[in-house]
């Protein structure tokens, strides 16, 4: 059986950078170390870091009870007020927000200063989207579906800025923007802020799934980019399986001949991808 592993599978630049920043704090002997939310959407990695003393701050309320230590902000970013709260608590900040997400924070803030409202094409409630919202100073609307785009109304006298969650599906973004554009707002700036790492990962996954007899998508259960990869692959290959760890891999479901494709979300460590690949070849 042939096994095709996507070259783009696994940690993206932003996730690797965030995990490395936490590891650097550990190596420098800083204590206590916190991450604001799990550093990545991968339970195994978070557990491994917890074993080295890294604690996760789950909520703003929890943050306000901490008065000593270093807080690492994860690649998803956080609302502006969280920086103030961390400083007010007397804590050190290590900002591991991915530079591509940081760029969106800057865009929405600058447009807000010019009096513009903001539309975020993305999944409401996703930490990255919540973070972006927290940098908007005017009205902000999150649009994730065609129905939401159809229902969207905006004061034509006000400028409007449209950005995207970095991990949003490229085709879906185009479709939603097309619906908003039909409303003929004169003062709308559309900025495609989808990360190219996401787009490349999705395109490669689609290409492999088209050829594969069976497709395995690896990633944490809370990882929205892994879920999107799964959706894309499932459309092309009915035998697509979503696994979180090696334990979830049921090799009896794999074809005895043909080709197995493997891809993984941005929070999946390389060693897990290699283990799954090896297992498929046994």
Q: Residue 18 or residue 177: which is nearer to ligand SF4 going by CB? A: 18
Interacting residues of 155 by C-beta distance below 8 A, sequence separation 6+: 117
Task: For residues 110 and 158, give the distance between their C-alpha atoms in angstroms, rounded to a whole number.
Answer: 15
Of residues 241-270, those binding ligand SF4 (CB under 6 A):
266
Q: Should residue 25 be labelled a site residue for ligand SF4 when binding is judged by CB under 6 A?
A: no
x/- binding map, residues 226-245, to ligand SF4, per CB under 6 A? --------------------
Are 218 and 272 a contacting pair, CB within 8 Å? yes
The stretch near ligand SF4 (CB under 6 A) out of 46-54, 114-122, 193-201, 237-245 is: 193-201
User: C-beta of 14: minimal distance to ligand SF4 in Å?
Assistant: 3
Q: Should residue 135 be labelled a site residue for ligand SF4 when binding is judged by CB under 6 A?
A: no
Q: Should residue 166 be labelled a site residue for ligand SF4 when binding is judged by CB under 6 A?
A: yes
The correct pick among 5, 10, 14, 229 for binding ligand SF4 (CB under 6 A) is: 14
The stretch near ligand SF4 (CB under 6 A) out of 12-20, 21-29, 78-86, 108-116 is: 12-20
Single out the residue of 164, 38, 169 nearest to residue 96, CA to CA: 38
User: C-beta of 216: minimal distance to ligand SF4 in Å?
Assistant: 20
Neighbours of 159 (CB within 10 A): 19
State the chain's maximal CA–CA distance in angstroms. 64
- The single residue of 44, 85, 128, 130 carrying the catalytic annotation is 128
User: C-beta of 241: minimal distance to ligand SF4 in Å?
Assistant: 23
To 5 degrees, how large is the angle CA 69–CA 70–CA 72? 150
Helix 13-27 to helix 99-113 angle, to the nearest 10 degrees? 110
The dihedral sign for the CA sequence 223, 101, 197, 10:
negative
128 given a catalytic annotation: yes
Are 89 and 53 a contacting pair, CB within 8 Å? no
Are 123 and 224 a contacting pair, CB within 8 Å? yes
User: C-beta of 120: minimal distance to ligand SF4 in Å?
Assistant: 14
Of residues 194-233, those binding ligand SF4 (CB under 6 A):
195, 197-198
Structure tokens at 172: 């879906």
Write out the residues near ligand SF4 by the rule CB under 6 A.
Answer: 12-15, 75, 98, 100-101, 166-167, 195, 197-198, 266
């Amino acid at each position: 059986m042939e096994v095709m592993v996507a070259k783009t599978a696994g940690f993206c630049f932003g996730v690797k950078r965030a995990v490395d920043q936490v590891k650097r704090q550990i190596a420098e002997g800083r204590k206590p170390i916190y991450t604001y939310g799990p550093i990545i959407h991968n339970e195994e990695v978070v557990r491994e870091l917890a074993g080295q003393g890294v604690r996760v701050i789950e909520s703003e309320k929890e943050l306000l009870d901490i008065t000593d230590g270093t807080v690492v902000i994860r690649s998803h970013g956080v609302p502006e007020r969280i920086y103030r709260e961390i400083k007010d608590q007397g804590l050190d900040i290590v900002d591991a927000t991915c530079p591509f997400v940081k760029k969106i924070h800057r865009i929405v803030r600058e447009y807000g200063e010019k009096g513009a409202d903001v539309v975020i094409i993305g999944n409401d409630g996703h930490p990255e989207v919540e973070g972006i919202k927290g940098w908007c100073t005017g009205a902000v609307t999150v649009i994730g579906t065609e129905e939401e785009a159809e229902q969207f109304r905006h004061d034509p006298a006000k400028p409007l800025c449209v950005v995207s969650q970095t991990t949003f599906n490229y085709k879906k973004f185009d479709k939603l923007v097309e619906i908003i554009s039909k409303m003929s707002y004169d003062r709308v700036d559309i900025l495609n802020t989808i990360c190219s790492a996401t787009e490349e990962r999705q395109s490669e996954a689609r290409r492999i799934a088209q050829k594969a007899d069976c497709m395995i998508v690896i990633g944490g259960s809370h990882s929205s980019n892994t879920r999107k990869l799964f959706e894309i692959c499932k459309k092309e290959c009915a035998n697509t399986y979503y696994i979180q760890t090696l334990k979830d891999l049921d090799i009896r479901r794999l074809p005895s001949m043909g080709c197995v494709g493997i891809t993984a979300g941005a929070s999946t460590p390389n060693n897990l991808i290699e283990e799954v690949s090896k297992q498929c070849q046994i």
